[in-house]
Structure 1
Amino acid sequence: MRGVAELPLHTGHVPPWLASRMRKLAALVLKLLVDEYGTKGTLERLSDPVWFQAFNNLIGMDWDSSGSTTVTTGIIKEVLAREELGLKVAGGKGKRSRETPKELMEIADKFGLEGEKYVRISRLVAKVDTVALQTGYQLYHHTFFLDEEGNWAVVQQGMNPEKKLARRYHWFNAEAFTIDPHKAVAGFKCLYALNTVALESKTFQRTLLEIAAEGPGGLKRDLETIKAMVRGYAVFYKPRDVDVRAVMRRYESLGRLELNERVLEFLKEGGIKNYEEFLLIRGLGPGTLRALALVAELVYDVHPSWKDPVTHPIDPFKFAYAVGGKDRVPFRIERGTYDELIRFLEDVVARKGDRELLKNMAKITKGWRPPEDDKIPTP
């Protein structure tokens, strides 16, 4: 399963006749998965971007669309709300993402888990992909998967309206949230990314906390000094061999430089022990972190990573041949064929006797690759 999917931003909707079939097929696949691999194994697969995209293609969603994330996670959430498989989903797209804490508390209570723990994880992973890692993509979708054993996965997505592309972030049972925390990131690599959670960013994180703890006064002066450097004024601690204008352009390409004085006053009072706690401060946004990082780089000569952590340019296009695609790529969905597949899998789930047949079919088709001419971008 190799290749490239751009995940372009698409509008539109799934027609009711297709959505109802997607729910039936997704329910059958999830039952087979939980039965075969358990809930933890199911979460591991959902946190694999290639597997996730294959699941999306299998149920008939567009093979290369931003809807791969929003529709597929929405379908899975609906299915797991009805089925008792020991696995539930919170969150979703837009305003639904803001319901995540409430829904997580309800799910945790049902499973006998500590809800606050998972609410904190939810907030933290969202802050990492909004503030700590900046690539020009704005987070607009956040889905949290939790099983009754306390295993979790997050699938969230950001958009870049200017490039008309989406990027998907996958998390699974992370223990360290500020050092290379992702299970995977799916999308096109950017030339550079402000990445303060890269493995090599430990020293930078410590320096950033020290700078922030000095309060807003000194930081304002440092920013004014940098602006003077950009205008060509010489200052006594100007870094040697550094193109200050180029550095400033790189930061400003990600958005405005801002200082939230309330956040900085709070930091000055102390009590923040580590970078995780720093990221969770309410009011800390990407603009403030950009300003802090710029001061760290140009005044203190401590540099963040600019490595984009994308791991998967994904494209399991072959799975779109199961029933076809919503936008007729690689072919139009035939309702009868879709219904026949559902009936077959219903029989497999009910009798549990034909699973070896499924495994043998998988072996036969493992090496098959679809014709490149069929791989038409979704309109």
Structure 2
Amino acid sequence: MRTGIAELPLHTGKVPPWLLSRMHKLARIVVELIIDEYGPKGLLERISDPVYFQAINNLIGMDWDSSGSTTVTTAILKSVLDEADLGVKVAGGKGEKSRETPQELEKIAVHFGLDPEKYTRTSYLVAKVDSAAVQAGYQLYHHAFFLVEDGSWAVVQQAMKPSERVARRMHWYSGKVTDPVSEPYSGVAGVKEEFVLNTVALEASGFRRLAVDLVQEPPSRIESYLRQAEAILRGYQPILLYRPYEPVTLRNTLKRYAKLGFPRAERLGLEAARQAGVDSYSDLLAVRGVGPSTIRALALVAELVYETPPSWRDPLTHPVDPFKFAYAVGGKDGVPFPVDKKTYDELVSILNALLDRKIYTKRVLKQIAILTRNWNPPPEEKRPT
């Protein structure tokens, strides 16, 4: 199953209504089966695995490799869980829906008897990590927060790089997060980048501590360092500053920052962080006004002045896709074959019949699974959509 690459290209267009309604029916059956077998937390564990999430997408007939696999599958799951009392609800979604996450989360938390503030704060921090603390030229546009009645949570969010027409999906699961700013992911799917500004890598712990110290300084001091760095990028030779660096290494380092957008220290954010007296990197990221540019500014100053660099390691974990599941009903864009309504309806009918006879369901499905466990699709049929 873990072979082949899904590059999550950006697609336009919509899922036709006839397919969307069938996706909803099949997804509801799958969700009920997962929760019946593994419980609500078991569902979160699975959707926070990039491969399993993509398998659900392929199973219900969405394009096997498109960016829409995230937005459509999440929307379908949200709809299913909204209408069913299964102990899991979803807040947020794509674009404008992502901005409604705090309000929706508050209602869900109250419904489950949980503290809303805890989860709205977590949601904001998770989004801030993937928009500012980790940077690879992507723009975050999708954020979905899954919450279980026992307080467990998962997040599936996606960012796009319009210049290359690709997307990247980030998965979080509360059962795997020990520190939200240190190796927090349960998985990241997409295309591996040459370099990524990664301030949540384990090896960037020194930078995180230094960043907290730096924001206690007057913003003017950080701005002064940035002006000197910009002058070096234009060709000026430093006399005292940045002595540990060879000229070529120094300019290559600066060009790497410049490729992400040469940093500007957002004075209002820095002043707010200074006044708040932040004492952790999580607190720093949570400050309104501390965005991607300020994090780049702090990273540049930390690397060139204090010799305490962030990490440039891409946190990508899953450049893979379970294409075999696209053979269940086909794919929206005809890969590996067009979705056939009759076959889709028969599958839903058979699974519903099994659900009505729950005593047999698990045994029958496990026997069926044996038939395809060792089967892999012909590689030539795996075409980009």
Q: Shared fold (TM-score greater than 0.5)?
A: yes
Deviates more, 1:18-27 or 1:344-353: 344-353
Distance 2:263 2:191 in 1: 25
Aligned counterpart for 2:188 among listed residues 185, 201, 219: 185
SS of equivalent to 1:269: helix
2:292 is matched with 286
1:224 is matched with 227
Distance 1:220 1:258 in 2: 8
Conserved 8 A contact 1:186-1:313: yes
| Deviation by residue 1:5-28 (Cα, 9 ceiling, x = unmatched) | 111010110000000000000001
Distance 1:84 1:182 in 2: 28
Distance 1:12 1:239 in 2: 53
Q: Per the alignment, do residues 240 and 271 of structure 1 end up closer, same or farther by CA in structure 2, a change over 3 Å counting?
A: closer
1:238-277 aligned at under 5 Å gives the runs: 238-242=242-246, 243-277=249-283
Amino acid at match of 2:317: T
Deviates more, 1:245-254 or 1:50-59: 245-254
Q: Where does the alignment leave 5 or more consecutive residues of structure 2 unmatched?
A: none
2:145 is matched with 144
| C-alpha deviation, 1:264, in angstroms | 1.4
Matched, 1:355 2:362: yes
Matched, 1:34 2:38: no
Identity %: 55
> How many residues are matched?
378
Distance 2:269 2:66 in 1: 37
| C-alpha deviation, 1:216, in angstroms | 1.1
Conserved 8 A contact 1:320-1:330: yes
2:379 is matched with 372
1:211 is matched with 214
Conserved 8 A contact 1:140-1:157: yes
Amino acid at match of 2:213: E
Q: Where does the alignment leave 5 or more consecutive residues of structure 1 unmatched?
A: none
SS of equivalent to 2:260: coil
1:106 is matched with 107
Amino acid at match of 1:355: K
Conserved 8 A contact 1:239-1:301: no
1:49-68 aligned at under 5 Å gives the runs: 49-68=50-69
| C-alpha deviation, 1:228, in angstroms | 2.8
Amino acid at match of 2:369: A
Distance 2:232 2:160 in 1: 33
| C-alpha deviation, 1:172, in angstroms | 0.2
4+ residue stretches of structure 1 with deviation over 3 A? none
Distance 1:150 1:238 in 2: 48
Amino acid at match of 1:312: H
Distance 1:359 1:175 in 2: 34
2:204 is matched with 201
SS of equivalent to 1:141: strand
Distance 1:225 1:315 in 2: 45
| Deviation by residue 1:140-185 (Cα, 9 ceiling, x = unmatched) | 0000001111111000000001111000000000231011000110
| C-alpha deviation, 1:316, in angstroms | 0.3
